Structure 1
């Protein structure tokens, strides 16, 4: 049994003119424990919606998301939140750090939704990512690259079994993009977490042994339905 199993996932939205736009039609997608997979997809193709359904931030119109055999897509919102806090880390494209809090506080806040705040572990993660002298800095006092490292630490802080990364290098200078990617992969390997990374950057995709084209997963794209 795979760690993560998606079966018959469908998702549609209603456009402003009332038309139904099919975003996702994914017959099957599996992720094994402690594995890595990159998914190639252009902007607007539905891949963020795909990740949000895996994470339980959205529910599919049809189909199931199973994690370790449990159908998490059928859980209520509160139970999905609890499941996500325990099992899943998410690296958002825009980082989504809280501007009024320090780097350490941003990581600690993420931990409070899971097993509880562990100040020593949070500080150790940030230090491992080269931010030992930035623990008390707020996002506005850090570079984009440093903010991204805080986001990586937050995603791994609850020791998740799977990490989702949505264009994790999209806001970074090309000189630092691959360095950040290797930090993410290294942390996932160290903590035994599976990694699903979506990107349109060929350099990112080439770094993975396993890379899939989102057009091959999502039948809605084959039907040329706008997303």
Structure 2
């Protein structure tokens, strides 16, 4: 279970500040969560915060079970502890796929296992089969279609059996048919592996097609030069 309590992140320059209020998020094992909101409301910032890629403001809590992940940022061994937690808990699906061009599709998928120290060729083979990547497993990313590259990225994110998969607009570059297929595969593969899936998307109509818990980010101006964006929870859509 992931739970945020009073978790915030603030970006500032000389004239303005933007604060993301990420408190009140609750994600159960195997749950699928869809984050929506207008551009500029902090969806990517929220995913970075949840994925331990962005330092939170002091005072908030980010719990994975009984472990406060936010507290890792202030530990003396924080850098190593954060790296271990990222590799152990999370899998990531970037918007562009983020595949290494000098590795084949299969090698890209297996890389997550090598980094996490969980080498399991049988699980890689199962993901390749599940996502229909057998014919392209030995091909370089440059030879794959956009949809195939995104499926490889999904398989890589799931390969080391993370507890949570974080995906930032994973279907933004896909046509509607491939977008629906990729999102469905991500949710199904995540559930089958027991991983929660947290993704951001502008495509609310596409999210409506799947049983996901919805959260929306909404921004407000607190005073001149200060914007706060907060999470508004929605109901879970039945399967």
Confirm or deny: 8 A CA contact 1:82 1:113 kept in the other structure. Answer: no
**Structure 2: how far apart are the matches of 1:170 and 1:23?**
25
* Alignment of 1:79 onto 2:81: yes
**Structure 2: how far apart are the matches of 1:20 and 1:111?**
42
With structure 1 as the length reference, what TM-score do the two structures score?
Answer: 0.89
Confirm or deny: 8 A CA contact 1:39 1:205 kept in the other structure. Answer: no
Structure 1 residues 139 and 226 mapped into 2: Cα distance closer, same or farther (>3 Å)? farther
Stretches of structure 2 that go unaligned for 5 or more consecutive residues are 73-77, 230-239
Q: 1:168 aligns with which of 167, 170, 186?
A: 170
Deviation at 1:186, TM superposition (A): 0.8
Confirm or deny: 8 A CA contact 2:104 2:139 kept in the other structure. Answer: yes
Structure 1 residues 66 and 167 mapped into 2: Cα distance closer, same or farther (>3 Å)? same
Confirm or deny: 8 A CA contact 1:38 1:208 kept in the other structure. Answer: no
Map 1:92-171 → 2, pairs under 5 A: 92-171=94-173
1:196 equivalent in structure 2: 198
Deviation at 1:20, TM superposition (A): 4.2
* Alignment of 1:55 onto 2:51: yes
Deviation at 1:14, TM superposition (A): 2.8
Write out per-residue CA displacement over residues 53-89 of structure 1, whole angstroms, 9 at most, x where no aligned residue: 1111111013121111201122112211111211211
Write out per-residue CA displacement over residues 184-214 of structure 1, whole angstroms, 9 at most, x where no aligned residue: 1110111111121211102222123322212
Q: 1:213 aligns with which of 201, 213, 216?
A: 216
Confirm or deny: 8 A CA contact 1:93 1:171 kept in the other structure. Answer: yes
Question: How many residues were matched structurally?
Answer: 218
With structure 2 as the length reference, what TM-score do the two structures score?
Answer: 0.85
Q: Runs ≥4 in structure 1, deviation > 4 angstroms?
A: none
2:2 equivalent in structure 1: 4
Q: 2:66 aligns with which of 65, 69, 91?
A: 69
Stretches of structure 1 that go unaligned for 5 or more consecutive residues are 216-220
Confirm or deny: 8 A CA contact 1:99 1:138 kept in the other structure. Answer: yes
Deviation at 1:46, TM superposition (A): 0.8
**Structure 1: how far apart are the matches of 2:152 and 2:93?**
10
Confirm or deny: 8 A CA contact 1:40 1:205 kept in the other structure. Answer: no
**Structure 2: how far apart are the matches of 1:136 and 1:42?**
39
* Alignment of 1:27 onto 2:30: no
* Alignment of 1:43 onto 2:36: no
